[in-house]
Amino acid sequence: MYCHQLAQDLARDLKSHGFVVYLSDNGAGYYGCYTDSTKQRVISFSCHFETTFSGNYKSKRSGTGWRIDPDLYGYYRAMLEQNAPKWATSEDVKYTTLAEYLDLYQSSSKLKEK
């Protein structure tokens, strides 16, 4: 119950700052994502024993994202605008849009806009 409430509280806080927020509706409800009105970049988050945030990008060689530095937690705009670290990719980074993110994870996560 704690983790579910943590995710709900985070979603409310993000919305109060003007962000578009999606939470999982697959029974767990402990994770989701947010973006701004452009929907061109996505930050995903997970609320378990602690909250973690990750940036998302498309890559053929180096995964799909990176963990956001905890020093930025709470600075939602700065997290959304953070660039992928150099070690994360050796190619031009194409950040994941909301539409692409939903296309990738919607079937398993059942993300719903809050």
**Residue whose structure tokens are 């996560």:** 109
pLDDT at 28: 61
DSSP character string of 14-49: HHHTT-EEEEE-SS---EEEEE-TT----EEEEESS
pLDDT at 90: 67
What are the tens digits of pLDDT across the range 5-16?
A: 888 899 999 999
What are the tens digits of pLDDT across the range 25-62?
A: 766 668 999 999 999 999 999 988 789 999 999 877 77
Q: Which of 13, 14, 33 is nearest to 23 (CA)?
A: 33
